[in-house]
Amino acid sequence: MSSSFDLSSLGWHDGLQALLPGGTVPGRVARVHRGAAEVLAADGEHHVRFGAQVRRAAADDPIALPCVGDWAALHRLDEGRYELAEVLPRTTAFVRGGVSRDSRGGLSGDGQGQVLAANVDVVFVAEPAMHASDFADLGRIERLVALAWESGARPVVLITKPDLLDLGLDDLLTDVSAAAPGVAVHPVCSPTGEGLDLVRAHLTGSPGSGSPGSGTAVVLGPSGAGKSTLVNALAGTDVMATQQVRAADGRGRHTTVHREMIMLPGGGLIIDTPGIRRVGLYDMSDGVDLVFSDIEDLAENCRFSDCAHTAEPGCAVLAAVESGELPERRLDSWRRLRREARWMATRTDARLRSEESRKWKIIHKEMRRSGRNRP
């Protein structure tokens, strides 16, 4: 990589400068290791360790852990190295919840989240054409788009590998567009270059970026969706390793094992990510409602303002399902994501209450100890 960087090409602007602590210099996190990160600064790329303040913040809240896309305040040590002294406030953050399945098939987790990417303008949701028409995959698109809206970034759905679909691409695009109302949906064939100009346009025209061509995107999707192939096509060279999808089951291998930010020659930055098997919702407010805006619009015509759309008389949502206007699959997906979002909210509240209780127990213990040690 270059020995120096124009910070404006990384997205740096005057608003961030005002947040920079005195005695530090800015850098953008390109890759994270355990307790350290690769950071791009004006004087080059540096391997920096996390400072004490960063480690303490991350111990209290995993969301505070530095991640790819973060802007960081770097403090120069006496020996000439930098340390990552502080993470600057994020404009956007793509956070997944710590949700998993327990041995009985139920939801489990601790309410803690993980930031997959920060300060991102666009979230590219990549779904391979050969799978995207399955109900489960439409549900995955809805889930990732909900998280994208919640992050504060703009979601865009990319249907990759359209050349592997013999027939029905137009019908597929119609189904995906219905699953993500108001979201741009593009077919993209990385080997031939079809659709790449549309992808680049979302980067070079990203609102909120520091300057033209400085937009940042993250690519999310399952293994085998062609995320790394897309990044290589945009970069014009093989910056990420790729593998073929397994012929036996059509699934991809986890080629990318870490998140990494890549500078693109035509302007903008893109973050490649490992394939996502399952991503839980986290701290949802409007994301689910935005994905299911069609259901929200129908609900305005329900007889009761608090209609749950289950068996209430005069329910416009159930009437739309009955008439075929609204797919039953979509209503089921809405119910599932709403239920999960509520569940995660209760888990998060319980964790915060537990941490607050633990903090005060420590304080009271120290007060009692101090009292016993007084002369």
Spatial contact of 50 and 243, defined as CB atoms under 8 Å apart: no
> What element of type H or E holds 235?
helix 227-235
- Going residue by residue through the chain, which has 375 residues, state the pLDDT in tens, using 9 for 90 and above: 457 889 999 999 999 999 999 999 999 999 999 899 999 999 999 999 999 999 999 888 888 999 999 999 999 998 889 999 999 999 999 887 654 434 333 334 444 678 889 999 999 999 998 755 555 589 899 999 999 998 899 999 999 999 888 778 899 999 999 999 999 999 999 999 999 999 999 988 644 444 444 699 999 988 888 898 999 999 888 776 665 544 444 444 445 457 899 999 888 999 988 766 556 666 666 888 899 999 999 999 999 999 999 989 999 999 999 999 999 999 999 999 888 888 777 765 555 555 556 666 666 666 666 665 555
Q: pTM for the complete prediction?
A: 0.80
Indicate the CATH number for domain 93-272.
3.40.50.300
**Angle 174-176-180 (CA atoms, 0-180°, nearest 5)?**
115
Could you give the 3-state DSSP secondary structure of residue 100? strand
Asked if CATH classification 3.30.420.40 holds for the domain at 7-87, the reply, yes or no, is: no
Q: Which residues contact 105 (CB under 8 A, 6 or more apart)?
A: none
Identify the residue whose tokens are 């124009």: 6
Rounded alpha-carbon distances, angstroms, from residue 56 to 19, 20, 23, 86, 345: 20, 19, 21, 11, 24
The torsion of the CA quartet 290, 295, 300, 301, rounded to 10 degrees, works out to 170
Q: What is the DSSP string of 301-341?
A: TSSSTT--SSS-TT-HHHHHHHHTSS-HHHHHHHHHHHHHH
Looking at residue 198, what is its pLDDT? Answer: 93
Residue intervals of the chain classified under CATH 3.40.50.300 are: 93-272
Nearest residue to 358 via CA among 368, 369, 347, 350: 350
Residue intervals of the chain classified under CATH 2.40.50.140 are: 7-87
Looking at residue 103, what is its pLDDT? Answer: 39
